[in-house]
Structure 1
Amino acid sequence: MNAVTVEDLEKHYRIKSGRGEDRVVHAVDGVSFEVPEGRTLSIIGESGCGKSTIARMLVRLADPTGGRILIQGNDGVDRRAIQLVSQNPWSALNRRKSIRHALEQPLAVHGLHPGRAARAARVRELLELVGLTEEYLDRRPGGVSGGELQRVTVARALAVEPRVLVLDEPTASLDVSVKALLVNLLLDLKQRLGLSYVLITHEIDIARHLADDVAVMYLGRFVEKGPAEQVFSDPRHPYTRALLAAVPGLDREPGVPLTGEVPSAVSPPAGCRFHTRCPLAVDACSRTEPELRREEDGRLVACLRADELR
């Protein structure tokens, strides 16, 4: 069974223009993917491409305009089955309340581990899972480091025993050494608890360490999707190549870095949405929208010139 199945997911926002007319922002424009149980799918791309909008729809913080989301085959809203770990732990927790309160609250809301003793034992267990001791229980968020606080948000997400965690830029606010510790923790928890992850990140190095599969997103759509090792070692879409060209230390030939600005999601370019920035674009790219097509090696690529990039 798949932990997550997403079919033709869309999120469009209506906004008022300066003339008072309605305009549509195509934040997510028809994406589909599956996350098998026990695996991690990382969705990567530049800021504003729609990654975090997908995260919000997965945990029902935003309603899709179209498409369907199944969590373990269920299309109902089971808030215990999937939980979010957000980018900023300071904004995710109440700064006036203790860490004990942060961990007890989801247990109380869902009626789990009733009774003071049982709930206290579960809170201690959650702290132990993320490598923290009981001394943190009576601290407030302001008295805890960023890395420790992100561990608390992971513990809170695990409180209701979810099967899927959505990790929305979980390391973006942390320094390098603390990032490594959190990545190792997430790998350990995935194995120990049998979790599945949807990782949203613009940090390629984090995706390389955590992901089993990768979906590359540009302006609301996927342009390449496949096993992480395959995509990172031999990217087939010009956008993927450009993203990886900006990452130092990758063991592959350098590509052409990205130039220019991302077009507006209010009026995406006709044809291939990447053609306005693509160094390999030809006339047909501005007229024909490429389908996400399966290649011989099994990956999916949306590029009219994909055969030439092998």
Structure 2
Amino acid sequence: MEYYNSKTVIYLDGEFVKAQDAKTDLYGQSLHYGYAAFEGIRAYKTHNATRVFKIKEHYDRLQRSCELMHIPFPWDKNELIKQTYRLLEINNFKDAYIRPLVYCPPSMSLVAPTESSIMICAWDWASYFGDKKLKVCISSYQRPNPKSTYVEAKASGHYVNSILATTEAKSKGFDEALLLDMNENVAEAPGANIFIEKDGKLYTPALGHILAGITRATVIELCKVLDIEVIEKAISVDELKAADSVFFCGTAAEIVGVHTIDDVVFRQRWNDSIGCTIQRAYKNLVLEKVNYEVII
């Protein structure tokens, strides 16, 4: 995938610059230690022009991630929102993925910095998984122990764990991995949260060992509107494999169905599942189409 070309512009510490001309310091803490925080945000072309979905929530979480990781966050979030829309306009992006990144200056120490930089870039990007249903394996890697780090922070270094899990899954012929937590309960995918359907209800792992996904919160909001019960609890592997259907959700993934976990094929047809209903409702919501309440 080409993320930028000679014409692409990024936002860097208050200025718009050509992506190919932007530089970073090879002695930065972020490069050496993964000490940075970021967001993944989606912009959609709607009948009301280009809209960035839940942009305030994303920048709120970026600030919270920085606070948890002791990375300075001196920026006005309303100004960042304004400049994000300006960035899309300059690059003529309609449907795009947006990546704000807060990173740290040169330092070989293990002490939090007193200043930081922010970069915002964007690129054209379709759905992360496409339209197919996923073949998933349970990873040999676990999500980090919440006593070892702030798992609710979207910190760059945390994603080494995700890269290892996805690489392992693809090397075995699967589309994606599913990680367990330290107690061997279901946690999340490398870049998405998980919901399972059983007997007309949805279940999802409770917060504590997972990233508090903005799409996850949106799914729960949609379920309240659609009168679908959602239960947040610890989910065992046995419960997962006994589910009627399963789906992942995330900003990049949106809503994507899971066909198999290891050797288990979920028996419910995707088109008959709650996940499929949520998938349609979510698409209508982000595209600002007709009231999503009527789609079922």
TM-score, normalised by the number of residues in structure 2: 0.28
Q: Larger % of strand: which?
A: 2
Structure with the greater relative contact order (CA < 8 A, sep ≥ 6): 1 or 2? 1
TM-score, normalised by the number of residues in structure 1: 0.27
